[in-house]
Structure 1
Amino acid sequence: MAESAPPRRPSLASKDTVDASQLLGSIDRDGIAALKADLSAGPNGHARPARSETETRDFSSQRAHVPSGSESAVDDESDETIEDYDELQLDPDTLIANSRKSMSEAYRPSLGASMETDGQDRLQPGKPKKRNSIQIRLEKTDRKGRYVLTADDPEIREVLRKGIEREELESSGKKPRVRFRDMVFTRQFTTFDRQNASSESQFFGFFTLFWMSMAFIIIQSAMKNLREYGSILGSNEIAKMMFSHDVLVLGITDGVMTAGMFVTFFLQVLVQKGYMNWSKGGWVVQNVWQSVYLASVVGWAYFREWPWTHTIFAVLHGLVFLMKQHSYAFYNGYLSGVYRRKMLLEDKLEQLQAIDPVQSPPTSPRESQQMDLASGIDLAELSKRAADITVKRRPSMGPRTSTNLAAEKSDVASVAAAIQSGRAIDTDQMQTFERVIRAEIDDLTKELQGKSPTGKNAYPKSLRLLNFAEFICLPTLVYELEYPRQDRINWWYVAEKLAATFGVLCIMQVISQAFIYPPVAKTVAMKEAGMPIEERWREFPFIVSDMLFPLLIEQLLTWYLIWECILNVLAELTFFADRGFYGDWWNSVTWDQYARDWNRPVHTFLLRHVYHSSISTFHLSRHAATFVTFLLSALVHEMCMAIMFKKVRGYLFSMQLLQMPLVMFSRSKLLRGRVVLGNVVFWLGLFIGPSFLTSLYLVI
C-alpha cells in the first residue's frame, strides 16, 4: 500500500507571489531579505532537518532561515564573555516559533477543538492545535531574490532586529555592551504542562507510571495503617505536627513579612524624589534594611521553636521576599541614576539652544580651527561619530548613571565643558553638539523604558504602589518594567493545578509518615537514650539506606509541587506568560547544568544580581564571580539546615562547595563528551546526597 502524504498545516492568507514551500537566506539591517528556494527539500515538500533548535522558523506554508547568534540573549548582560555557568539554553529567537495571541486561546485544547490537515488538505476536527503561526509578509523589490520582510507583531520585529544586530557584532568581532535590563522573558509553558504542545514525547508513559506508582503507595500505606491502627491515617504524627501548633501565628507572620516589603518601595520613592542619592548612600540604606529584614525572619523562626515544616516555610518565603526586594530596589536605583543623567543632559541641551551661534565665514578656515581648539574638541572626529548611526554610541558617551560631567571622559562631557566655558560656538559646532546630546538622551530614554516599548511603564512612571504589589505576586524574582502577559485567565486550568497541588501534598504527607518518620524517630530515640556516638555511627549506614528512596521521591515531589503546580497557578492568576520555571535538569551531565536548570527563577536572580554585579561592581573575574555565586548559595542553604536542625554542622555547605571541583572534573578529558556517564554521576549524587546529608544532621 502506498504511503500517504504527511499532514500539512493549512496555508495562511497571503499576498506573496513566491512559489516555494521553503525559503532560505539572510536579512540585512535595512529589512531586505535575500531569499532563495530550499532545493534540499524533498519532492513532497519535506523540510530538510534543521541544524539547531532555532535555525528553522515556522512561517506556516513558508519558512525563512533567520541567522542568529549562537549565544543566548542573556550574554548581553556582561561586557565580557560569559562562561558555561550562566549559558541559559533559551534563545529569544524561539519567540517566533512559540508566539501566540494568547496562551489560553492558542495552546489550550479545552477551549475548543482545533483543525489539522491530512495529505489532501482536508481538515480533521478534534486534534489539538499545536501552535499559532505568525504571518510574515514578503514584498518584492526591484532586485531578483530580494524581498522586504515585515511582521505585524511588534515582538517579532524586535526579535528580528536584535538578531541582525547580533550578527553584525559577531562579524565585526565586537562584544555587546551591558544593559542592566537585558534578561530574557518570553511566552512559554513548563515542560510537564499537558497543554504544552512541544512536550509530546514517546516516553510519556513513564510519567503516567510514576503517578500510578504514587497512587499504589497511598493505597498500600492506607491498608497497612488500617490493619495496625484501625485507621487509614495511622498515628499521623506528621499531620498533627503541621496543623496543631501555631498555624494562625504562621499566617500572621507571613502577612507581616509581606507588609514589610513595602519599606523598599517607599525608599525608592525617596530616591526618585531626590531625598536620597542611590549611588552615594541609597544602596547602603537598602542593604541595611535587607539585613534587618532577614535577621528578623530568621530570628523569629528560630526562637519560636516551630516544627520544621513551619520553620522552613517561613524562612524560604522570607528569602523569596528578600530577593524580590533586592531586585526591585537595585534595578530602580540604577534607573534613578539614568533618570538624573537624562535630566542633566536635557538642561545642557536647553543651555546649548539658548546660545546664539557665531557666523563663521566659509572662507576663513583658520578662524574655524581656532574655535575648535578653543572648545577643546576635535570637531571633525566628533561630527563623524555623531553622524554614524550604525556605530554603537555607548563607548563614546560615558556611564549611564554618571552626573559628574566634569570628571567624566566622554563626548558628552566634552560638549558640556564647551557649553559651560562660555566660548563662542559656530553653527556647525552647535549642530554637532546637539546631535551628540540628543543621541545620549535617546539612549537613556530607551534604557528608562526597559521592557516597556510603549513607555507606559517607563521609569519613573513605574514607581506605583500597584506596580510593586503586582511584582510581589508574580512568579519571578527579577524585576522588570513589563513582562510578557496573556490575555485571560483559564479558571479550569487554575482548578486543575490547585487539585494537583493538594494531591501532591497528600502524597508527600503519606510518604513522610510511612517511610521517613520511623527512621527519624529512631535517631531521636537513640540520642534521648544516651547512646554513644560510636554506636550511633554504626547505625548510620542503615539509616541512610532506609531513607534513600523516600527522600528521593520527596525531593522530586517537592520540586514538582513548587515549580510545576504552585508557580503555574500564580502565573495564571497574574496573567504571567513566561512559564520557563525550569529546564530539563533530569538530563544534566554536570552539576552546573543542574544548578542552572532546576530552579530558573533563582538562577536568573543570581545571574543578574550576584554574578554580573560581582563583575561590574567589584571587578571580579568570571571564575571569581562564579565562586562567589556558589558560596552565597551554599551559605543560604546551610543557614536553612541550621535553623531546621538547631545546629551548625556545615555538611551541606561543604557538599555544595564540592560541586565546583566536580564541575571541573566533568569538563576533564575523562568525562567530557560522555553524556551517559555524566548523567549517571549526576543521578548518583541526587539519589544518595539527600539521605546521606539528612542522616549526618540526625545522627551526629
Structure 2
Amino acid sequence: MIKRMDTGDKLDSISDRINRRDLLNINNDYNASSSDTDETESSTLEKDPADLSDVTPPISGVAEPSNSSGDGYFRRGSGTNVSRSTGKKTPSSPLANGSHVRSRKSHASRLPRVGSSSSDISDSDITLGGLVKYVSEQDHQRLLRRKSRSEDGTTKEKKKKEKYRLRFGDLSFTGKSTILDSQEFIKSEFYGFYILFWLSTAFAMCNQLVHMYFESYPPFWKWEIVQILERDIFKVGLTDLAMYLTSYFPLFLQILCKRGWISWKRTGWVLQSTYETAFVAVYLWFAHYMQYPWIARVFLVLHSLVFLMKMHSYGYYNGYLWTIFSEGLFSERYFFQLQNNEVELPEGHDLDHTIGILKSSIEFTKYELEYQSQATTNKPEQDDGKYEGIEINYSFAELQERGLIKFPQNISLWNYFEYSMFPTVVYTIQYPRTPKVRWHFVFEKVCGIFGLIFLMVLVAQHNLLPIVKRAGVARKLPVQERGGQYFFILLDMIPPFLMEYLFTFFLIWDAILNALAELTLFADRNFYGPWWSCTDFSEFARLWNKPVHNFLLRHVYHSSISALKVNKIHATLITFIISSVVHELVMYVIFGTLRGYLLLFQMSQIPLVMMTRSKFLRDKKVLGNIICWFGFISGPSIICTLYLVF
C-alpha cells in the first residue's frame, strides 16, 4: 500500500507547481522557436495547475452551499461579478475584514469529499493550505502586472481579458469556409488559375481515356487497381465499423468519472493511455492478420489514427476540466464553511488572506468552466455576442442550471456521437454551427469525391502501375545495377505522383471534410491554409493539414512543455519526431519493410527550415517558395521510388 503524503509534504509538492495559471503564455505556433524565451517559457510551463487532491485539511462540521437566494453563496452585493464589457470586479463581501468568522486552533479532523448535486467528484479532497499557497502566488503575480500598467479605462478592460491565460484557449474555431470555396477567392484575380488547373486536368484525363478506349484497354471494372479496391471491401467496412464503435471507450471512462466511480487523475488517464496504445496495435495487427490489400491497410491505419486523436483529445480535455471543477467545488464549500463559522483554519493561515484566496480560486474556476462552456473561439470578444461574460455570483449548481456551465453535462452519448461525426480531431464543449444544410453544396462535394477517386484510379492504373512493375523488376537486380534504373524510374514517377499528391489534397481536405462539415452543420471549414505559397517547410506543416496541426499544437507541443518540462525548441523537436514516426509507420504498412527513408526525409526538413530562416534567405520569399515547390514535386516521388527499388 502506498503511504499517504502528509499535509506538509503535499504542500511542498504544490508549491513547486505555482505561477503557471497567470503566466501561461504559450506561442501557438509550435514550429516557431525563439531562443531568447526558451528558458523563461520552460520554467513557466513546467508546472501543472490545480493538483490539489489527496490532502486533508482540518475542519469541524459539514455544510452545503446555500442556494436559497438569487445570489447563491455570495450574499447580495458580495462576491465578484466579472463583466466582459467593463472588465471590473467589485468585492463587497462581509468577509472582507474577517469580522464574521473567527479562527480556531487546528484540529486533526478531516474535511469530507466535496459533494455536488451535479456529480460526485473523486478528485476534490483538497488541502486549504495548498490552495492558499497556490492562489496567493497568483494574486502576487497579478499585482505585479497591475502595477506595470496604466489605470485608464481601456487598460482596465484589457487587464481583465488578459487576467487568465487559459490552458485550452490555444485554438480558434470560427465560421470560416475553406479558401477555395470562399467568396474572397472566387472574386479574386487569381481564380482563373484555379479554373485553368482543372481544365488542364480534364484535358489530360480525356486524352488518357481516348487512348485507352482505342487501344482496347480492359474495361474499368477489370482494372488491377479497381480489383484491389474491391477485394475484401465488406470485411474492411466491418473492421472500420468495429474501430468506430470501440472508439467510444473514452466516453465510458468519463461517465465513470461523472458518477464518481473512478478518478481521472488517479485512474482514468492511465486506463485511457493504455487503451489508446492497444487500440492502434490491435487493429494494425488485425489488418495484417486478415491479409487485406495494401490500400485497405493504409485506409485502416489512417482512420485508426483519426480515432486515436479524437479519443485522446476528448479524454484529456474533460480530464483537465475535472481538475478545475473539483477545485472550484472545494473552494466554494470551504468559503461557505468559513462564512458560517463551521471550519477552523489550519495553523499559520491568516483569515483575511485565506478568504481572498478562496474568492480568487472560485473566480478562476468559474471563469474557466464558463468560458469553455460558452466560447467557440479563443477570445470571448470574438464570439458574436454568444458569450456575454463571466457570472460568478451564483453557486456552481445554479450556474449549471442556468446553462452557463455545461460541464460535466456535456459528457453524454449524443455529445460524443456529434463529436465523432465532426471533421475535427480536437474536442471542445461547443463548436460554431451553421443554421441548415446546403444540399446543393453537399451534392457538389459528393460529386467531387467520386470524381477525384476516379481520377486517382485512372492515374494509378494508366501511369503509376507500369512504373511500379518496372521498379519490381529493378529490385531483383544487384544493388550496383539498381542506381541507373532508379534514376529513370524516378523521372517517370514524378509527374503522375504529383498528380496523385494534389488529388489526395483535394479529395480529403476540400471534398470529404467539407461534405462532412456541411452534413453535420459544422461551421469551421478552416481545414487548410494557402500551403502553395509557403516559404519554408514548417509553414507548410501548419497549413497543409490544419485539423492535425491543431491536435499536435494542443496535445503534443503544449503537453510536452507541461508534462516533460521542456522548452519550446525541445517541444518542437518532440512534435516533429512523433509526426515523422507516424508517417514512417504508414510506409511500413504499405511496403511491409522498415527502411526509414521517409523518417530521414522528414527530419531533414529541420536543417532546411533553419536554412530558409537564415539571414541570407529570410527575406527572399520567391526563392523560399521555389525550394518548397521543388520539395513538393520531387520529395514524395523520391521517397516512394526508394521504397520500391531498394
Same fold? TM cut 0.5? yes
Corresponding residue number in structure 2 for 1:501: 449
Which is greater in Rg? 1
Corresponding residue number in structure 2 for 1:213: 200
Structure 1 contact 606–629 (Cα < 8 Å) conserved: yes
Q: Deviations over 1:7-28 (max 9, x none)?
A: xxxxxxxxxxxxxxxxxxxxxx
Corresponding residue number in structure 1 for 2:529: 583
* Distance in 2 between residues matched to 1:495 and 1:201, nearest whole Å: 25
Corresponding residue number in structure 1 for 2:264: 278
Corresponding residue number in structure 1 for 2:41: none
* Distance in 1 between residues matched to 2:154 and 2:310, nearest whole Å: 31
Is the counterpart of residue 291 in structure 1 residue 310 in structure 2?
A: no
Identity %: 36
Cα shift at 1:694:
0.5
Corresponding residue number in structure 2 for 1:183: 171
Structure 1 contact 190–196 (Cα < 8 Å) conserved: no
* Distance in 2 between residues matched to 1:84 and 1:345, nearest whole Å: 35
Corresponding residue number in structure 2 for 1:309: 295
Corresponding residue number in structure 1 for 2:211: 224
Q: Deviations over 1:598-638 (max 9, x none)?
A: 10000000000000011112111000000000000000000
Is the counterpart of residue 461 in structure 1 residue 409 in structure 2?
A: yes
Cα shift at 1:199:
4.4
Is the counterpart of residue 333 in structure 1 residue 327 in structure 2?
A: no
Cα shift at 1:437:
5.6
Q: Which amino acid aligns with 2:332?
A: E
5 Å matches for 1:498-577?
498-527=446-475, 530-577=476-523
Q: Which amino acid aligns with 1:196?
A: Q
Is the counterpart of residue 203 in structure 1 residue 190 in structure 2?
A: yes
Cα shift at 1:515:
1.0
Q: Which amino acid aligns with 1:186?
A: T
Corresponding residue number in structure 2 for 1:607: 553
* Residues 447 and 492 (structure 1), Cα distance of their counterparts in 2 relative to 1, 3 Å cut: closer
* Distance in 1 between residues matched to 2:314 and 2:153, nearest whole Å: 29
Structure 1 contact 80–175 (Cα < 8 Å) conserved: no
2:541 is matched with which residue: 586, 595, 598? 595
* Residues 282 and 211 (structure 1), Cα distance of their counterparts in 2 relative to 1, 3 Å cut: same
* Residues 456 and 521 (structure 1), Cα distance of their counterparts in 2 relative to 1, 3 Å cut: farther
SS in 2 for 1:229: coil
* Residues 82 and 438 (structure 1), Cα distance of their counterparts in 2 relative to 1, 3 Å cut: closer
* Distance in 1 between residues matched to 2:357 and 2:484, nearest whole Å: 80
Corresponding residue number in structure 1 for 2:226: 239
Corresponding residue number in structure 2 for 1:300: 286
Using CA pairs below 8 Å that are at least 6 residues apart, which structure has the higher relative contact order? Answer: 2
Structure 1 contact 634–653 (Cα < 8 Å) conserved: yes
5 Å matches for 1:374-389?
376-377=349-350, 379=352, 382=353
* Residues 520 and 165 (structure 1), Cα distance of their counterparts in 2 relative to 1, 3 Å cut: farther
Corresponding residue number in structure 2 for 1:446: 370
Corresponding residue number in structure 1 for 2:90: none
Structure 1 contact 79–176 (Cα < 8 Å) conserved: no
Q: Which amino acid aligns with 1:177?
A: R
Structure 2 contact 373–430 (Cα < 8 Å) conserved: no
5 Å matches for 1:122-201?
177-193=165-181, 196-201=183-188
* Distance in 1 between residues matched to 2:490 and 2:498, nearest whole Å: 12
Q: Deviations over 1:499-527 (max 9, x none)?
A: 11111111111111111111101122344
2:420 is matched with which residue: 459, 472, 475? 472
Q: Which amino acid aligns with 2:411?
A: L
* Distance in 2 between residues matched to 1:495 and 1:518, nearest whole Å: 34
Cα shift at 1:172:
12
Corresponding residue number in structure 2 for 1:659: 605
Cα shift at 1:534:
2.1
2:245 is matched with which residue: 233, 255, 259? 259
Q: Which amino acid aligns with 1:211?
A: W
Cα shift at 1:444:
4.9
5 Å matches for 1:44-193?
78-81=24-27, 85=31, 177-193=165-181
Corresponding residue number in structure 1 for 2:141: none
RMSD: 3.1
* Distance in 2 between residues matched to 1:677 and 1:293, nearest whole Å: 44
For normalisation by structure 2, the TM-score amounts to 0.70
* Distance in 1 between residues matched to 2:605 and 2:272, nearest whole Å: 32
Cα shift at 1:645:
0.2
* Residues 510 and 274 (structure 1), Cα distance of their counterparts in 2 relative to 1, 3 Å cut: same
Q: Which amino acid aligns with 1:458?
A: K
Cα shift at 1:653:
0.5
Structure 1 contact 264–286 (Cα < 8 Å) conserved: yes
Structure 2 contact 529–543 (Cα < 8 Å) conserved: yes
Deviates more, 1:165-174 or 1:470-479: 165-174
SS in 2 for 1:609: helix
Corresponding residue number in structure 2 for 1:9: none
Cα shift at 1:228:
2.3
Cα shift at 1:196:
2.9
Structure 1 contact 226–234 (Cα < 8 Å) conserved: no
Corresponding residue number in structure 1 for 2:341: 355
Q: Deviations over 1:327-370 (max 9, x none)?
A: 0000011111112222222221331232189xxxxxxxxxxxxx
Structure 1 contact 477–601 (Cα < 8 Å) conserved: yes
Q: Which has the higher strand share?
A: 1
* Residues 290 and 356 (structure 1), Cα distance of their counterparts in 2 relative to 1, 3 Å cut: closer
SS in 2 for 1:221: helix
Structure 2 contact 28–170 (Cα < 8 Å) conserved: no
* Distance in 2 between residues matched to 1:553 and 1:509, nearest whole Å: 11
* Distance in 2 between residues matched to 1:170 and 1:487, nearest whole Å: 33
* Residues 543 and 177 (structure 1), Cα distance of their counterparts in 2 relative to 1, 3 Å cut: same
Cα shift at 1:229:
2.2
Structure 1 contact 225–234 (Cα < 8 Å) conserved: no
